Structure 1
Amino acid sequence: MDECQRILGGPPFEKRMEPFTVLIKKSGPVPERVCMIHPEIAKSAVELLADLNISRSDTMRQFLDQCEAKPHMVKLIKNLLTRRKKGEHGKDKFSRLIIDIYENQDFHQALSVLEMASDTFRKNPIFPQTTARLYYLEVRDYNSAEEWAQEAITRAQNNSYVADTLGQIHKNNLLRKAKKQRDVEEIAKKGYSAFKHVERKAEREEGPEKKDTLGVVSTPDSFNNRGLFGFIQVAKIVFEKLGKTRAAASYPNLQKEVKDKFDFFEWYLTYSKPDMKTFEPDYFWRDVAVCYKHYTGKTAAESTSFPGLLNCLDHGLFSSKGSRARFEETENDLQRIRDELKTTYKKNVNDVKVAERYILSNITLSNKEPDSASLSPVKELQKVIRKFLCEVECRSPEFYLLVLLLFWPEEPDEVKQEEDVEVKQEPELEATEEDGSQDKTWEDVNTDEDQDTGGEADNDPDPDPQAMVTLMKEEFERAKYAKYLRGRYLLPLFFLGKGSGLSRWIHKSKLDVVVERMVLDKLKAQTDKRNKKMRMFHDVWIKGEVWHHPRIRAMLLPVQVEPCNSSTTSQRHEEVFVCVGEKKIKAKVEEKVYGPPLSTMLYYLGFTIQGPVVFRVGAPHSEQ
């Protein structure tokens, strides 16, 4: 109120506003603020002023001229000039006010407001950053845009998001203007350099929880992947403008750079998504996969990396990242992949990464063909991974995920059922001459010969699941997954099902098949299906409809849980003990409660790349 009086001057503010009292309200209390009672009334008032030749830009410039750089005023002006509304297809280019000034007046009026804000708040980087975006997005003045982007970087030298704007300017210039080879190469060089700077700055940033840590200079809520993705986009554009030979020479070790960034985004998009309601834009994976094919000659669908194997089961689903990228996806020959990885493993029995992929190929095959005679027995796969458990080395979260899947406790009747099934499966791996295992003992290396002859490994106790959960969480931090995936929703990769052995681990794609059928059934009588399909897909998961479908309830095995009152439990995430026989294993609880809060609860167990997670589901009334 006092701020309004100071800006307006003249009679007391309350007296001056008497004719309009019914249209305004006070909010606050500290500092006390005045605002219109409804956005539509505010919009109508602005339009009426514009009809009286009091333009939006004049009003904003007068406001900037009178205001002081107090924190709450800076926040207000920042919101007015830079907050971009998020719609169904992403964020608007600019704030609503800048868009209105640009559309109802012209570019120069919008520019003058942003330049005045930049001059008024000389330490704030967001106003010159937005000015740079206006230059390159609306009039393609790349030189002026570059100058303003450099000014923004000067004001926030450690902020990767501010640095990204310069890379976007060069990428846009490369895509829209550069035609001659020399221009393409020169602008590409600038683009590569800018995005590598973004990448390095993002690596130095930490999450908000480390805000007060010595040496931490920037703490955004999420990891900034734009340096990595922007580099990929520049490489893709250069290839398409110059061809493979000249493109490969545009940056040192470019093929390796592209391969490394493809590997990053393959697991990044397999293990997480921005939030429960959205995926990355459709073009995101398309650009990554196309660039990868340009420089390596391989398709993303051919990948048999750990995340690549997990993706195999998604092929053909409209929710898969390949389908959303508009790729033609065919089903992978999981039997062939599994056989090839078995052969590779037999030649590399000491390579833990090869062992992980071999084991996972059996689990993915069991999800597609549960009765396949080629599936390796669970006990054989347990022996494969035991060898690496005996070694005193740090392992990956993927490694401990497999340990938990293979050694998760079973009830006695489940164990007997598993043994009956395994009688029909193929014999265990035999040692090969190449690995030289005939002369080694169990203590030297847990070879297939030891396994076949029933060495000491058969008497070893199963690894403690709670210890494996603890190690998995520690490796999630050490492998920097916690850094890169902060602020994102971790996707469940597997769920505990009602089967035994490998068949009790249900890949998420089997649930997605049912969800997609639910969505398509709902869409039969509707138009504009494309825009609604993905929104409805997310809604089925978010609203918990997925858990009450008969087919999914027939797949999943409810688990027993007990409260966990550990003093180390994060205040942000509730934890419970999952009780299996005499074992109690900690698991994070999914924050959403799927069902009426007072209903009988069911608990389903899933696994993310961080560890076990329990989904708390309200049981239908018929079961209460």
Structure 2
Amino acid sequence: MSQKCLAFNIMQGGFQKEDAEKLITEEMVNHIEKDTKSSSTRLLSFLALIHWYVPGSHLSKLVCEEFIDPTKQPSDEDNPKLETIMKPFEDLIDIFSEEQEDRCVRLAHRVIADACLKRFTEHNVTRSDIALDFLNSMVKGKESNYGEICKNIFITRLETGKRKEQFSRLILDIMHESGYNHNQCIDLLEMAANLFSTDPYYPQTLARFYYIKVKEDNKYEKAEKWAEEAIKRNPNNSRIRDTLGQVHKNHLLSEAKNPSSDFKKCLAIAQSATDAFKKEEIAAENDPEDRTTFSYSGLLGFLQVCKIMNDTRFGKSYERRKHLNYISGLRGDVESRYDFFEWYLAFSRPSFEKEDPEYIHRDVENCYKKYFTQTAETTLNEKKMKSFGGLLHFLKSDINVVKEHQRALKHPQSDNETQTVLYILANIVLSQSGEQREQAEELQARLQKLWLREMQDRSPEFYLLILLLFWPDEAQPGITNPPNLENCVQYMGQSYERKYQKYLRGRYLVPLFFFGKEKGLQRLVHELKLDQINLELLTEGDGNADTECLQRINGEVKNQEVFAVRDGQQIPVTPHDPSSACKPGQVSFYLGFNIRGPVAYNIRYEENLSLQRSHVNRVL
């Protein structure tokens, strides 16, 4: 295939694997077989490696020319030396210019890179050989020029479905190619770790490789060494610190499976693990605010270690006594971390489309049950009845639990805000199944008394209940001076910033309730009462979508901000889709509430609807 045909096929998107195979001529194969150590063959292997694992990657022409063996340089000054030395492979290579860069060299297509790597493998030049040669010959001494490309090749893990792959694609391919000979990967990663001597991600990857893939008896000691080296390079990064905790946790899990587990050894490993996770938690608290999400791995890892130690059984009586004392000392730590996940998982998830992995919820609850075990399920349900996040959980799991425990719902003291908030939420939860202890008017009166006290530093949960019960659709008779919802939304946002912003940043805040058409507490509609079609219409549909059980709220868009307009109030509302608030005008929308405040879903510009109706009337 000529260069012109190749270029045309690539431009048309019609370049296939078969085309790449045809491009690699017998002459090229003979050149590779005859002289695998030549500059041209090695340079081709580098170009194939980087283009396959980092699509579109290239090397500068100047660097390629510096790499070429001086003894092989062409003597004819009229011929460009790179083009001459690479002539056997000229149909595979693209030399081009980029803005503000020297001339660049790359393979003409990623499929060609794959075909070349397979040809090299057939001639006993493995991916591991090529990568080691690339590090030694191109990267060494010029590490700053190759930092990004090497990180993509050796470190970056691809997303596959719900989870990331365990290692970079190159490392996984080398394992497969070598028949799972771990030494090749270790040698490669060690060289990279030594070259990039301040980068923590290479020793971190080595530590992970040792404890996940290696089978040797001393693998945990080696993993610990590299995990500590990673921390030394960046001690303030919580995600780097997490690896040391994971090494100890997996070591403990391995020891605990041994029927003759030694208590002293298990205890030492467990303490090393919990210490590592506690230090990770501190680092996570101090992670920079521009970090995309808060890292909860230290909190979860701590609970997982506690569960492993609780599950482990030791034979000797004095060991069992020490074991029980150790377990007893962890109860407070277990409860505080359980409390974190209870609200964290109730208020948020990774994104609108993505749920948290099921094992997080499972591991957190199972650990709590292990440490509060008289009657595990009853104890856990009683615990949930005493927290906002726990009560919300029953809406997704089993609302009957709240019914069974409603006798335990004592009328709160009028000045006790925490008790009142939980009591009102329990009534809202019960109302979702048609039951409640008090009517909306009575609950409003309780909240009204607390609102008038004008306390500082109230929780977002308190302001959420104010919005749910006092949203100006039906002002209840008998209550004068209702809460100012403009102020409420402002206070709620400030409270959210103080209490939850650090932990929930970068996550999707789930709608806890929507505003429906019924009266009293029945006007609050939980997400699970909406079918998937209605949810998609709310979040993805255009402004013409209608959801039968929900009420549209009138509002206005000004300066790309959305307001609900009611009784002279302009209540700020966050648009679920900011792009839908694209211009000033009168709008309507469906109203949801998350832990940060009210949210406008499916924004409809009313003038558009008027024009559509006018058009229909003219047609009729």
What range describes the TM-score normalised by the shorter chain of this pair?
0.7 to 0.9
Indicate yes or no: 2:590 matched with 1:604: yes
CA distance in structure 2 between the partners assigned to 1:541 and 1:135 by the alignment: 48
Aligned counterpart in structure 1 of residue 511 of structure 2, from 479, 486, 492? 492
CA distance in structure 2 between the partners assigned to 1:502 and 1:265 by the alignment: 28
Letter aligned with residue 229 of structure 2: E
Aligned counterpart in structure 2 of residue 199 of structure 1, from 281, 298, 301? 281
CA distance in structure 2 between the partners assigned to 1:610 and 1:509 by the alignment: 20
Number of aligned positions between the proteins: 514
Change over 3 Å in CA distance of 1:148–1:366 after alignment to 2:
same
Name which of structure 1's ranges 40-49 and 465-474 shifts more when overlaid on structure 2: 40-49
Equivalent pair of 2:489/2:597 in contact (CA under 8 Å)? yes
CA distance in structure 2 between the partners assigned to 1:595 and 1:473 by the alignment: 20
Q: Give the secondary-structure state (helix, strand or coil) at the position aligned to 1:357.
A: helix
Residues 109-156 of structure 1, C-alpha deviation per residue, up to 9 Å, x if partnerless?
111110001110111000011011111111141011100111111000
Indicate yes or no: 2:228 matched with 1:150: yes
Instruction: Quote the residue 1:332 is aligned against.
Output: 400
Instruction: Quote the residue 1:250 is aligned against.
Output: 326
Residues 31-73 of structure 1, C-alpha deviation per residue, up to 9 Å, x if partnerless?
4654445433322221221112221112111221222545551
Q: Give the secondary-structure state (helix, strand or coil) at the position aligned to 1:393.
A: coil
Larger radius of gyration between Structure 1 and Structure 2: 2
**Alpha-carbon shift at residue 292 of structure 1 (Å):** 0.4
Indicate yes or no: 2:462 matched with 1:399: yes
CA distance in structure 2 between the partners assigned to 1:542 and 1:174 by the alignment: 47
Instruction: Quote the residue 2:556 is aligned against.
Output: 562
CA distance in structure 1 between the partners assigned to 2:288 and 2:495 by the alignment: 17
Equivalent pair of 1:364/1:507 in contact (CA under 8 Å)? no
Indicate yes or no: 2:260 matched with 1:260: no
Aligned counterpart in structure 1 of residue 567 of structure 2, from 558, 581, 589? 581
| TM-score under structure 1 length normalisation | 0.76
Residues 542-578 of structure 1, C-alpha deviation per residue, up to 9 Å, x if partnerless?
973699987xx1111112222232xxxxxxxx63112
Letter aligned with residue 265 of structure 2: D
Instruction: Quote the residue 1:168 is aligned against.
Output: 246
1:364-383 map, 5 Å: 364-369=429-434, 372=435, 374-383=436-445
CA distance in structure 2 between the partners assigned to 1:331 and 1:407 by the alignment: 24
Change over 3 Å in CA distance of 1:473–1:253 after alignment to 2:
farther
**Alpha-carbon shift at residue 86 of structure 1 (Å):** 0.9
Residues 263-310 of structure 1, C-alpha deviation per residue, up to 9 Å, x if partnerless?
100110111111122112121111100000000124344511111111
Equivalent pair of 1:277/1:542 in contact (CA under 8 Å)? no
**Alpha-carbon shift at residue 506 of structure 1 (Å):** 1.1
CA distance in structure 1 between the partners assigned to 2:563 and 2:144 by the alignment: 45
Residues 466-502 of structure 1, C-alpha deviation per residue, up to 9 Å, x if partnerless?
11111111111111x1001111111111111112322
**Alpha-carbon shift at residue 22 of structure 1 (Å):** 5.4
Aligned counterpart in structure 2 of residue 477 of structure 1, from 497, 518, 526? 497
Change over 3 Å in CA distance of 1:398–1:12 after alignment to 2:
farther
Instruction: Quote the residue 1:117 is aligned against.
Output: 192
Q: Give the secondary-structure state (helix, strand or coil) at the position aligned to 2:295.
A: coil
Name which of structure 1's ranges 358-367 and 12-21 shifts more when overlaid on structure 2: 12-21
Indicate yes or no: 2:450 matched with 1:388: yes
CA distance in structure 2 between the partners assigned to 1:228 and 1:490 by the alignment: 20
CA distance in structure 2 between the partners assigned to 1:314 and 1:77 by the alignment: 45
Name which of structure 1's ranges 306-315 and 225-234 shifts more when overlaid on structure 2: 306-315
CA distance in structure 2 between the partners assigned to 1:542 and 1:496 by the alignment: 12
Letter aligned with residue 462 of structure 1: P
Q: Give the secondary-structure state (helix, strand or coil) at the position aligned to 2:552.
A: coil
Aligned counterpart in structure 2 of residue 222 of structure 1, from 282, 293, 299? 293
Letter aligned with residue 350 of structure 2: P
Instruction: Quote the residue 2:183 is aligned against.
Output: 108
Change over 3 Å in CA distance of 1:507–1:25 after alignment to 2:
farther
Aligned counterpart in structure 2 of residue 46 of structure 1, from 117, 122, 125? 117
CA distance in structure 2 between the partners assigned to 1:509 and 1:306 by the alignment: 18
1:73-472 map, 5 Å: 73-105=146-178, 106-140=181-215, 141-178=219-256, 179=258, 180=261, 181-208=263-290, 220-242=291-313, 247-250=323-326, 253-297=329-373, 298-299=376-377, 300-302=380-382, 303-304=384-385, 305-315=387-397, 330-341=398-409, 343-345=410-412, 348-369=413-434, 372=435, 374-389=436-451, 390-410=453-473, 414-415=474-475, 458-459=479-480, 461-472=481-492
Letter aligned with residue 6 of structure 1: E
Instruction: Quote the residue 2:26 is aligned against.
Output: none
Aligned counterpart in structure 2 of residue 616 of structure 1, from 584, 594, 602? 602
Greater relative contact order (Cα 8 A, min sep 6): structure 1 or 2? 1
CA distance in structure 2 between the partners assigned to 1:492 and 1:340 by the alignment: 28
CA distance in structure 1 between the partners assigned to 2:371 and 2:321 by the alignment: 10
Instruction: Quote the residue 2:55 is aligned against.
Output: none
Equivalent pair of 2:204/2:240 in contact (CA under 8 Å)? yes
Equivalent pair of 1:590/1:614 in contact (CA under 8 Å)? yes
Percent same amino acid among aligned pairs? Answer: 35
Aligned counterpart in structure 1 of residue 540 of structure 2, from 537, 544, 555? 544
CA distance in structure 2 between the partners assigned to 1:136 and 1:547 by the alignment: 52
Aligned counterpart in structure 2 of residue 60 of structure 1, from 131, 137, 143? 131
**Alpha-carbon shift at residue 234 of structure 1 (Å):** 0.2
Equivalent pair of 2:338/2:364 in contact (CA under 8 Å)? yes
Equivalent pair of 2:537/2:602 in contact (CA under 8 Å)? no
CA distance in structure 2 between the partners assigned to 1:578 and 1:497 by the alignment: 15
Equivalent pair of 1:593/1:616 in contact (CA under 8 Å)? no
**Alpha-carbon shift at residue 580 of structure 1 (Å):** 2.2
Name which of structure 1's ranges 35-44 and 292-301 shifts more when overlaid on structure 2: 35-44
**Alpha-carbon shift at residue 26 of structure 1 (Å):** 5.0
CA distance in structure 2 between the partners assigned to 1:127 and 1:543 by the alignment: 41
Change over 3 Å in CA distance of 1:12–1:282 after alignment to 2:
farther
CA distance in structure 2 between the partners assigned to 1:386 and 1:543 by the alignment: 33
Change over 3 Å in CA distance of 1:381–1:123 after alignment to 2:
same
CA distance in structure 2 between the partners assigned to 1:206 and 1:357 by the alignment: 34
Name which of structure 1's ranges 101-110 and 160-169 shifts more when overlaid on structure 2: 101-110
Q: Give the secondary-structure state (helix, strand or coil) at the position aligned to 1:576.
A: strand
What are the ranges of 5 or more consecutive residues in structure 2 without an aligned counterpart? 1-59, 74-79, 315-319
Equivalent pair of 1:493/1:606 in contact (CA under 8 Å)? yes
What are the ranges of 5 or more consecutive residues in structure 1 without an aligned counterpart? 209-219, 316-329, 420-453, 520-536, 566-573
Letter aligned with residue 483 of structure 2: P
Equivalent pair of 2:562/2:572 in contact (CA under 8 Å)? yes
